[in-house]
Structure 1
Amino acid sequence: MVSSDRLLPAIGLRLLSVGLFATMNAAIKLAEVNGARLGEILFFRQFGAALLVTAVVASGPGLASVRTQRIGAHVGRAIVGVVSMAFTFAALLALPLAEAATIMFSTPIFATVLGALVLGEPTGWRRWSAVALGFVGVLIVLRPGGHSIPLDGALYGIVAALLTAVVFILLRQIGRTERAQTTVWWFSVLSLVPLGIAYMLQAQAHPLATWACLAAVGLFGGAAQLAMTSSLRRGAVSVVVPFDYSSLLWATGYGWLLFGTLPSDTTWIGAPLIVASGLYIVWREHVRRREETRSALSEE
């Protein structure tokens, strides 16, 4: 059982990361409104993260702590991560904030499917039922054949959720030998190579307000990543991940205050189904791991 002196900081850091990521997402849309292009936004997101993560590592355990024998795995994770981030940001630019956040809630659903198909993880009828419920929620939000949200933005969001689930699978495999801090650092640094090229192709002059938005994307994104990683060091995934769904409140608030948009009726109907599906999947994963631990202990 996790003690409260570790549990509360873990939850607090997770909530902080949710707020920071939501602020980053709002800055992304503001940067685009003020003339920034997708390649520029992506570069500044990772540039800011790389600076913050490097500073934290250097001031703590030192840069020697990120040495790795699995550079190939980190390169693969960086490639999938950059493509996933590009689709995520494209969805944010094409959709209202609340709808983009809601579609990204389907990531645990895709992760469950991939875990069963790729890793051979046991997935019983309960979790498959939760997966089906989640996809029903996604369909309600998308409202096929209707005019609820732009089709291109919906497709960007679904691909982003799928690729983010692939990243989760890769992180599980890398995490068997690498510390989270090492993985975050290598992703931040390696991703600057392709994003630096994209930036050079799209770089342009901007007014001060746009530069401020781009800087905010990098700083808030880097700080959010550090807070999220720190939360996982203090609390189990099953404890902290459910608080990610509070991002819908942030997205709704920022959407209304900054862009004058509110979630559609279908989003209010579909979002609870997606959230319920994700929460149940996280809970069942927690139960499964607890049963595996008990079984392993009983065999000793």
Structure 2
Amino acid sequence: MDSEQSQPLKAALWMMGAIASFSLMAVAGRTVQVEIASYELMFWRSLLGMIIVLAIIRLRTGSLATIRTRHISLHVTRNVFHFFGQNMWFYGITVIPLSQLVALEFTMPIWVLLMAPLFLGEALTGRKLIVALLGFIGVLIVAQPGVQPINSGHLAGILAAIAFAINLIFTRKIMRHDAVLCVLFWMTFSQMLMGLGLSGAMGFTWPSLALVPWLIILAITGLTAHYSLTSALGLAPAMVVAPMEFARLPIIALVGVVVYAETLDPAVFLGGAIIFAANFWNMRAGRRQTS
């Protein structure tokens, strides 16, 4: 994006929307899982999300032609990994502090650069290996093995980041062919089926009426978070938007303190800062090479 066309203030406002959406999603996800499992949560969230997406498509275009695609296999592959990653993320918020999970989630771009040679044929350079090493150091500082017990929540956070990385790689491929609303429809539709399948196999639990508002919040924030982030990237370069996203860590940590009485751990912020710095360095160096 041309620097003269960059609108960082508008991008910052969209990022505030994305951060608010992700934070509210975490609170709603933890609340809902008191009664239902993560895959049941994903079914209801995707069902409601699909209804919202279809309504938007109908209002904007007057037809459903937007959802047609010749690349259904790419959509299915993308959403299998996304569904797995979302389940790991929602499970993680019930097991470890919100700030730890978000810090581990920040490793996602590092997994992208490590797996890009496999999926996109990109070269794995020395710089990228150093970035990966710094990211791994950041993970160790966040998780603090030997200082505090490592549990399934930490593993879930890392697996979520890996799954989100693969999801991003396939999203890059899909966006060459299909529009955003098409991607959102197939995401909600396929993940609704996956959630329904797992719910049927594992035992379906009907949510209580008290959970309905939270499920609606999950459906809405699942769409607004990614729409806001995409809009921010459309208004300013990734180099400008990326530092704004790091604000999600202290904000979600504050949510954890206020809502769940979680403690503020300086190690989480130190590790998160190292992970972010590694990602930012890689992004900046990559931009220099392409400019």
Q: What is the TM-score with the length of structure 1 in the denominator?
A: 0.86
Q: Which residue of 2 aligns with 1:296?
A: none
Identical positions, percent: 24
- Mapped to 1, the partners of 2:237 and 2:67 lie a distance apart of 23
Q: What SS does structure 2 have at the residue aligned with 1:93?
A: coil
Question: Where do residues 151-170 of structure 1 align in structure 2 (5 Å cutoff)?
Answer: 151-170=151-170
* Alignment check: 8 A CA contact 2:257 2:264 kept: no
Per-residue CA deviation, residues 31-65 of structure 1 (Å, 9 max, x unaligned), is 224x2322222222322322222222222234212
CA RMSD of the aligned region, Å?
A: 2.2
Q: Which amino acid is 2:144 matched to?
A: R
- Give the whole-Å Cα distance in 2 for the aligned partners of 1:50 and 1:288: 40
SS for the counterpart of 1:191 is: helix
Gaps of at least 5 residues in structure 1 are 291-300
Deviations 1:202-241 (A, max 9, x none): 4435444333222222222222233233334444444433
Q: State the distance in 2 between where 1:11 and 1:269 align.
A: 24
Shift of 1:245: 1.6
The Cα offsets for residues 106-145 of structure 1, whole Å up to 9 and x where unpaired, read as 0011111111343232343333222211110101111123
Is 1:282 the counterpart of 2:290 in the alignment?
no
After TM superposition, where is structure 1 displaced by more than 6 Å over at least 4 residues in a row? none
Are positions 1:182 and 2:182 aligned together? yes
Q: Distance in 2 between matches of 1:188 and 1:288?
A: 37
Indicate conservation of the 8 Å contact 2:42/2:191, yes or no.
no
The CA distance in 1 between the partners of 2:225 and 2:159, in whole Å, is: 22
| 2:125 aligned with 1:124 | yes
List per-residue Cα deviations over 1:231-283 (Å, max 9, x = no partner). Answer: 34444444433322221122112101110002323213211111111222222
Q: Is the 8 A contact 1:77 1:167 kept in 2?
A: yes
Q: Which amino acid aligns with 2:67?
A: V
Q: Is the 8 A contact 1:141 1:266 kept in 2?
A: yes
Total equivalences in the alignment:
288
| Contact 1:26–1:97, Cα closer than 8 Å, also in 2 | no
Query: How far does residue 4 in structure 1 lie from its aligned partner after superposition?
Result: 5.2
Distance in 1 between residues matched to 2:243 and 2:78, nearest whole Å: 24
Of 227-236 and 135-144, deviating more is 227-236
1:217 corresponds to: 218
Structure-2 separation of matches of 1:113 and 1:271: 19
The 1:49–1:118 alpha-carbon spacing in structure 2 relative to 1, beyond 3 Å, is same
